Structure 1
Amino acid sequence: MVEELAQADDAIAACVDAPAWALPEHDLIAALDAAHRLEQRLAAVKLTLIREIDGRGTARTQGASSTAVWLRERLRLTVPTARRLIDLATALDTGSPGIRQALADGTISIEQARVIADTATTVHATAGTQATDKAVSLLTDWATQFDPTLLRKLGTRILDHVAPHLADTAAQAALDAEATRAARDRHLTLSEQTDGRLRLTGTLDTETAGLLRAAIDPLTTPSAADDQRSPGQRRHDALTEVCRLALRTGELPEHGGDPAQIVVTTTYDALTAKLGTGTLDTGLPLTPQTVRRLACDATILPAVLGGTGQVLDVGRQRRLITGPLRRALVLRDRGCAFPGCDRPPRWCHAHHIHHWADGGTTNLANAVLLCGHHHRHLHHSDWTIQLGHDGHPEFIPPAWLDPEQLPRRNHYHPRT
């Protein structure tokens, strides 16, 4: 298969630089149709490979917490995109073979395949295998005429065509399927922008949407007759207030042994001079005004830093990596330090590089932040950890994964 794909790659490379401007209109359209059909056929191959990788557990063997995370690192995908590919690969493998064949033939697109697979799952639960095969055949034919959005609308009444005697239950089945899809597709993405702000995108299920509206709607009314904030700005400020209220309750679960809190790093001289910026434990910068405002209602915890930002002294040694030492560890690692992991410090455990039970000391030079999955993985694998020349952790993969055993680092967490 690798050789065949290499030959296909060479053929496509020859087309990339071909002068499209020289094609007559008929050939131009024919080339577009052929490229689109080839794209779908390659998608079928890709989904087959993803299904096999997921079934073998390759991702966890190589240290990733899931196949979706592994695909993100390997193919540079977003995790939601990777999850959708895994779900579709599973559906095509376990569902009606007609969907995979239509995709492999290039007669349907990958988005149409996802719609047909979702509909087939609903029909199978309601009417059985025979009706499912009829539905897949009919939807595949309709896919030559309708885009995925219209195809999904048609699919909501597919039982009228393949099992009329069950049409009365189709609406309920469609509602149940929609609820399942809503639960599957729910997500919230926090994307860091270059200026330190966050862009929030995502899809909330019905219940969560109701909770969010109930929480922020009372706080979005104009504060005064001359309130110049836009509706979007008022919703932003309402979300801020909801988060502050949640932190003030003291009822949020602990993260890494510390209460839920925000941590701001600044210098003493900058704070007293009212001129210095600060940095959140997530790596995002804060203006001097924001630092001063937060400091008015904060506990000040000292940490002595060297010229390169390396923590020199945070308190006495102890067995557990908590308190000042953990905060120093968060300042250094910013989150799970395992390569390819983007989990934040609040989700992480503090791990002794040289195990405490084996005589390892409890200090910054012998500690690393790891999320729960990678903490367990390090204890049951041949990966090793060392600190690089700059004091940041490096991970040495086992020889079977990388014969050269080149050190790897995490590049997802910003450094100061």
Structure 2
Amino acid sequence: MAACFETPAWATSERDLVAALDATHRLEQRLAAVKLSLVRELDGRGTATAQGASSTAVWLRDRLRIGVGAARRLVEMAATLDTAPAGIREALSGGTVDLEQVRVIAETVQTVQTAAGAQAADKAVAILVDWAAQFDAALLRKLGTRILDHVAPEVADATAEAALRAQDSRAARDRHVTISEQTDGRLRLAGILDTEAAAAVRAAIDPLTTPSGPDDTRTPGQRRHDALADVCRLALRTGELPENGGDLTQVVVTTSYDGLTRQVGIGALDSGLHLSAEAVRRLACDARILPAVLDGGGQVLDVGRQRRLISGPLRRALVLRDRGCAFPGCDRPPRWCDGHHMRHWADGGDTSLDNAVLLCGHHHRHVHRGDWVVQLGGDGHPEFIPPAWLDPEQLPRRNHYHRRR
């Protein structure tokens, strides 16, 4: 081994390098088998406690200078190998499988023996060892879930059904979502979804988590956040939620009129939480948000004037014109979009087709907080003028995705 280590690898042919790597790996597994047999014997003799250690794992930690977790795994693996069928021990000592594969094979074979008996377990060992020559431990575990199809097909379906029922029972017991309200009004979500709910959530948010274009700098976590929010907005738009959700929830935002027009005042929700001026103005674009605007003396000036809302025939016309989010490069469909006033309603902008554009949640926020200018081109379709730092010439850009459809 010392001679091999001192031999310069650069002088070896590629074919010999590959052969040497294979041989080294096989030798490593054979040495692992020897090491485990030694650990098992030392553990059985009680050598560790005789020398004053509290356990074999602790003794191994000090003796071999390894982490206690790794030491425990050695002891556990030694016990597993000691009771495993002979075929598994022979495969490891022969260098054809590694320790993780041995663990998977042993656990799978134990399941087979419980379900179908010793004869089926012996067949399973042979098949799994053969598979181990082709697949790593992770894939071997997946393949092992259907091993009964090969060694005991008469009980395979019933066993699989029982396993699924047990899995469903655990999932039903463990499912939960915790919503913790933070002091600043944000929510912390945590929980475990069962398989069916997880599939539904992934199907709903995965299409919305792809970057919306080259200018999308959101992290994957931020995209998942925005996708979940978009799904909730869509659910509110359906009008099919129970009475507590019914139609779209009417959020009342209270702010001073001067603050709203000058973009400096904060808003207060009816829950008592506060929103920034930017958030207030963005929400005011949504057709189903009802603003409550008060003057300096606290008198109500307006509560949701209908002429402000982009809804009904106007929204249908907007959908026919824009066909989805109009921001360049975005493929979000109309149902994910809000109606945005190009000239904000609080700044005197009217609610008309000429002053409205469809924007998805992400680009609605982006336009409100950024330096993009939205206007109608000569043909009556929206175009976006980028900020000078992005394009010094500030050439208007359009969304061509929906136009191709």
TM-score tier, shorter chain, comes to: 0.3 to 0.5
Q: State the TM-score, normalized to the length of structure 2.
A: 0.42
Scaled by the length of structure 1, what TM-score is found?
0.41
Larger Cα Rg: Structure 1 or Structure 2? 2
